[in-house]
Structure 1
Amino acid sequence: MADDDLLFSTRDLLIGTATASLQIEGGDRNNNWYDWASLPGTIKDGSTPLRATDHWNRWREDTALMAELGLQVYRMSVEWSRIEPRPGEFDSAVLDRYREEIDAIRAAGIQPLVTLHHFSHPSWFQGLGEWTSDAAPDLFLRFVDTVVRALGDRVADWVTINEPNVYAVQGHLFGEAPPARRSWTGVRKVLRHMAIAHCRAYRRIHELVPDARVGFAHHARVFEPRNPRNPFHRAMTAFDRTLFQDVIADAMLGGRFARVLGSAPDDIAPGRYYDYLGINYYSRTAVTGISDGTFPGAPVNDLGWEIHPAGLIDVARDLHRRYPAPIWVTENGTADAADAFRARFVHDHLAAIAGSDLPFERYYHWCFVDNWEWAEGESQRFGIVALDYETQERTVRDSGRFLAQVIADGGVTRANHDRFVAPQAYSTEPR
């Protein structure tokens, strides 16, 4: 297709979707999130991840559907609690199962990106103190070494840890995720140990797979003062940016540990611990304190998160200025049960990427199929593929057809825009 036929091109961008094992596989009772969801009042709709999308048994169906949509890349995670159900005991059958799935993904012409820790881990690891424990980096490295030795001949691209800032803040400051604590000391320990774990895992993966591309998925959001004239709002904006984003990015990307994290171990010197910049981007925060807020009249999704596509470029530019590297949008998506604005959301973020001068290489939409959305359970819908949880039937949404056409055309055509994007509009209230 000629560029003259495109409103904008995505030909320099590999496009696909992202998932996480705990949210899709089902059937695993041996992890921190199943334990947490089994407690009364922890999950909005009372569900657990035991059902999820039954991907553990339906991965062939899902892979075929990804191929039908023409996905070029796919981000997945492997479940630590399945692979190492007891300390030091690794299940070779589970690793064989992941090998089989990855082989099928590659045979479909889709390039896998494998995440090693995406919020979930074995119950035994939780019992040892999870990421607050001084033993956590070594335990994680043992797991990483086993997985990469098993899958490294099939997988070139790796995410060590997903959203360490979110894990630390939600679980150890706000108490809204396991282990449901409220402790600044816990936040500091988690961030420190995750940074150490990432730097060591980065080196180990390259020892085992020299040509690997390794990074971490950084949750980045735009922080702006709700009232720019309010000195407290301005001060808290700077505080939030520093604590939530810069401290962990500097440690995990550059090996530079801020005072709040304590000094780096002797084996981690300042340097480069990334091959790409992985950015998870969803929203902008109107800052009045530490909790989230939105600007009056701003468009929002079903969860009340502000939709702010320009912010993707803002956070990417800031990170790239300090750590130059190819940019992979490792997550970007929205809660939209009615599929009333998702195509527009995707269009607007891809348009922002296409219009920037930054080296974006990949875009992973969150997510492929509706999944078990952590504390929201089954109540929120992020997928370009709709899921009936009772029957497990998958149905491609219009937003999925839109994204598939973008991939096929190498950009957004007027016809694709007019069919899927033009009829849609954002709302300033959650639907």
Structure 2
Amino acid sequence: MSDTPWYLEDRLHYGVGIEDTFIPQEAVGHRKLDEYELTQHYARWRDDLDLVAESGAEFVRWGIPWYLVEPRPGEFDWSWLDQVAERMRELGLRCIVDLMHYGTPLWLDNSFINARYPERVASYGRAVAERYRDVFTDFTPLNEPVVNAEWCGENAKWPPYLSGHDGFIKVTMQLARGMVLTQREIAAVHPDATFVHVDAGFLYRGEGESPLLSRELLEERRFIALDLITGRFDADAPLHPWLTSHGVTEAELQWFRENAVTPDVIGVNYYPHFTTGEFVDGRLVPVRNDGGGLRTLIELYADRYGLPIAVTETSLVGTPAEKIEWMRESGEVLAAMRAEGHPIIGFTWFPFFSMVDWLYRFDQLKPDDWMLEFGIVELVRGADLGLERVRNEAFDVFTRAALDARGAGERSTAR
């Protein structure tokens, strides 16, 4: 077996991800949103992992429901997670662990702006890494920080329900501090751990601005969390005036410079139907942007940070034929970029199976009314109300690509 870390191998690794948004807090008009519950993953996790292995995926992006694993501060219930981790070990699946996917435990008052949030999330991350060091080797301290800050701090949709620039910045600073402390705490108990930062980078078209956001601000803001945790915010940083005008102090920015961490891999999330937004009459409207957009987004991150890149999420809602066509097109883009020397090391179909739209949280319709068919496995409601896992034609196409990539790696190692 090679001692070279997987992300430094000169080939593409194929993986899938299971949608794992957890917003357990309820409020008037806002019901609980737990994707594992809604898709019956808690009940069918064993079959789901077996399907992941059968797909040929080498890795799975999979998240831990923090609110269930740590039901009270400092008290952990590992009973379910122990079983999942053991099955992943048996299947030989590399899990890129989503430690934080939008939601905090119910006991953490004010969610992300709780003064102790950074230390609490880091303590939880350390506990996971310590207990499962023989099976979990790859970690995402926090998924999509900008999306997290938008929904929790700018649009007042999720706890702590802040709004505007000030809310976005308050939440972002807490998220970033938690990311730094989490990576440091994991590295302390698991020195060989790999860290995969995952960003929903977004692209923009057209000139103009919405009531809150200009294109100039958005072009820089997509990098805000990664720039903070890697210590890039000094007086010359383009967003420095924006942060300080909203109360961020020089001492806070200095803390990030003094405690900077660097991920091993940058994960870029790209959806051809909505990653790109266009300014239309003061509104930002999602527009379709295919392989050219994927190339552009990867180049932006590669040029800025110079680190290995993985596509950590991509898929679309459509027919199996449309999914197959996107696999083909995106695969061609990545192959061309790799031939040009870009260190692109991962491709992730995310989500692996259908998911429930986040808007489910805001009404009383049934989960099936909000089901989005992103996956290469579809969820089909049976007469017993169970959600059967049904592969579509894109599953086999993915499997062939994944096995071909793995075979290329084995041939390269043999030489």
Q: TM-score, normalised by structure 2?
A: 0.81
CA, structure 1 residues 57+284, in 2 after alignment: closer, same or farther (shift >3 Å)? same
Task: Give the Å deviation of 1:88.
Answer: 2.3
Q: Does 1:189 align with 2:170?
A: yes
84-93 vs 204-213, greater mean Cα deviation: 84-93
Rounded Cα–Cα distance in structure 1 between residues aligned with 2:354 and 2:193: 30
The equivalences for 1:50-65 within 5 A come to 51-65=37-51
Match of 2:123 in 1: 142
Q: CA separation of 1:323/1:67 partners in 2, compared to 1, >3 Å: closer, same or farther?
A: same
1:355 aligns to what SS in structure 2?
helix
Structure 1 residues 31-430: aligned runs within 5 Å: 33-36=23-26, 39-40=28-29, 42=30, 49=35, 51-93=37-79, 97-125=80-108, 128-225=109-206, 227=207, 236-243=214-221, 245-254=222-231, 256=233, 259=240, 260=243, 261-263=248-250, 264=252, 267-269=255-257, 271-282=260-271, 283-288=275-280, 291-294=283-286, 306-336=288-318, 338-356=319-337, 357=340, 358-376=342-360, 378-389=370-381, 390-410=385-405
Displacement, 1:55? 1.5
- Provide closer, same or farther for how the CA distance between residues 396 and 331 of structure 1 changes in structure 2, counting only shifts above 3 A: same
Report the CA distance between 1:307 and its aligned residue: 3.8
Q: CA deviation at 1:39?
A: 4.2
Distance of 1:248 and 1:368 partners within structure 2: 27
Shift of 1:267: 5.0
Q: Structure 1 residue 398: deviation in Å?
A: 1.0
Match of 1:13 in 2: 12
Task: Give the C-alpha shift of residue 255 in structure 1.
Answer: 5.3
Letter in 1 for 2:84: E
In 2 relative to 1, CA 48–360 (structure 1 residues): closer, same or farther, beyond 3 Å? Answer: closer
Q: For the Cα contact (< 8 Å) 1:214–1:276, is it kept in 2?
A: yes
The 1:146/1:290 distance shift into structure 2, 3 A limit, reads farther
Shift of 1:155: 1.3
Determine the C-alpha separation between the residues in 2 that align with 1:277 and 1:231.
28
Match for 1:332: what amino acid?
T
Q: Which amino acid aligns with 1:404?
A: T
Maintained 8 Å contact 2:33/2:358:
no
TM (normalized to structure 1)?
A: 0.78
Unaligned stretches of 5+ residues in structure 2: 1-8, 361-366, 407-415
The CA RMSD measured in Å over matched residues stands at 2.8
* Matched AA of 2:82: R
Aligned residues: 368
Q: Helix, strand or coil for the counterpart of 2:76?
A: coil
Show the counterpart of 2:363: none
Mean Cα displacement is larger for which, 385-394 or 265-274?
265-274
Q: Is the 8 A contact 1:236 1:288 kept in 2?
A: no
Q: Distance in 1 between matches of 2:133 and 2:284?
A: 39
Contact 1:329/1:363 (<8 A) preserved:
yes
